[in-house]
A and B are shown apart, each in its own frame.
Chain A
Amino acid sequence: MDAILNQAFAGLSMASILLIVALGLAIIYGSMGVINLAHGEFVMLGAYAAWAMQSFLGFSILVSLPFIFVAIAVVGWVVERGVVHRLYRRPLDTILATWGIGIVLQQLVRMFIGPESLFVATPTILEGNTVIGAVVMSNYRLFVIAFAVAVLAATWGLMTRTEFGTRLRAVIQNREISECYGIRAEKVYATTFAYGAGLAGVAGALLTPLVSTTPSMGTYLVVDAFLVVIIGGVGSLIGTAVAAGAVGEATALFSMLMNDTLGRIAVLLAIILLIRFRPNGLFPQTIRR
Chain B
Amino acid sequence: MLEATNLYSYYGKSPVLQDIGFHLDKGQILTVLGRNGVGKTTLMRTFMGLTDRMTGRLMFNGKDISAMRTSERAMLGIGYIPQGREVIPRFTVRENILMGCYARPDGKRVLPEFVFELFPILKEFMDRRGGDLSGGQQQQLAIARALAMDPKLLVLDEPTEGIQPNIVQQIHDVIIRLNREFGITIVVVEQNVPFARRVSDRFLVIDKGRVALTGAGADLTDEVAEKHLTF
> Which A residues lie at the B interface, using CB under 8 A?
163, 166-167, 169-170, 173-174, 176-184, 285, 287-289
Decide if B2 is an interface residue (CB 8 Å cutoff).
Answer: no
In angstroms, Cα B92 to Cα A173, docked, is: 13
Known contacts A173-B88, A181-B102; 4 additional CB pairs below 8 A are A173-B89, A174-B88, A180-B74, A180-B80
In angstroms, Cα B71 to Cα A182, docked, is: 4
In angstroms, Cα B138 to Cα A219, docked, is: 47
The listed residue (B86, B91, B132) touching A288 by CB distance below 8 A is: B132
Known: A179-B71, A180-B74. A289 touches B131 (CB 8 A): yes
> Which residue among B80, B90, B95 has the maximum number of chain A CB atoms within 10 Å of its CB?
B90
Decide if B30 is an interface residue (CB 8 Å cutoff).
Answer: no
- Say how far B73's CB is from chain A's closest CB, in angstroms: 8
In angstroms, Cα B104 to Cα A224, docked, is: 43
> Which B residues lie at the A interface, using CB under 8 A?
48, 50, 69-71, 74-75, 80, 82, 86, 88-91, 95, 98-100, 102-104, 109, 131-132, 145, 149
Indicate if the CB atoms of B98 and A177 lie closer than 8 Å.
Answer: no
Indicate if the CB atoms of B74 and A177 lie closer than 8 Å.
Answer: no
- Say how far B153's CB is from chain A's closest CB, in angstroms: 13
Indicate if the CB atoms of B89 and A287 lie closer than 8 Å.
Answer: yes
Nearest B-chain residue to A176, judged by Cβ: B50
In angstroms, Cα B91 to Cα A287, docked, is: 11
Indicate if the CB atoms of B74 and A287 lie closer than 8 Å.
Answer: no
Nearest B-chain residue to A180, judged by Cβ: B80
- Say how far A183's CB is from chain B's closest CB, in angstroms: 6
Contacts of A182 in B (CB 8 A): 71, 74-75, 102-104, 149
Indicate if the CB atoms of A183 and B71 lie closer than 8 Å.
Answer: yes
> Which residue among A167, A173, A177 has the maximum number of chain B CB atoms within 10 Å of its CB?
A177
Indicate if the CB atoms of A179 and B74 lie closer than 8 Å.
Answer: yes
Contacts of A289 in B (CB 8 A): 89, 131
Contacts of B75 in A (CB 8 A): 182
In angstroms, Cα B157 to Cα A223, docked, is: 47
Known: A174-B88, A287-B89. A181 touches B131 (CB 8 A): no
In angstroms, Cα B145 to Cα A167, docked, is: 14
The listed residue (B69, B90, B99) touching A181 by CB distance below 8 A is: B99
Contacts of B98 in A (CB 8 A): 166
The listed residue (B69, B82, B100, B102) touching A167 by CB distance below 8 A is: B102
Nearest B-chain residue to A178, judged by Cβ: B99
Known: A179-B71, A182-B74. A169 touches B90 (CB 8 A): yes
A-B contact pairs, 18 of them (CB 8 A): A163-B102, A166-B91, A166-B99, A173-B89, A174-B88, A176-B50, A177-B88, A179-B50, A180-B50, A180-B71, A180-B103, A181-B99, A182-B71, A182-B149, A183-B102, A184-B69, A184-B71, A287-B131
Contacts of B86 in A (CB 8 A): 174, 176-177
In angstroms, Cα B102 to Cα A182, docked, is: 6
Contacts of B103 in A (CB 8 A): 180-182
Indicate if the CB atoms of A170 and B89 lie closer than 8 Å.
Answer: no
In angstroms, Cα B50 to Cα A289, docked, is: 22
Known: A166-B99, A288-B132, A289-B131. A180 touches B70 (CB 8 A): yes
In angstroms, Cα B99 to Cα A181, docked, is: 7
Indicate if the CB atoms of B50 and A170 lie closer than 8 Å.
Answer: no
Contacts of B145 in A (CB 8 A): 181
Contacts of A170 in B (CB 8 A): 88, 91, 99
- Say how far A229's CB is from chain B's closest CB, in angstroms: 19
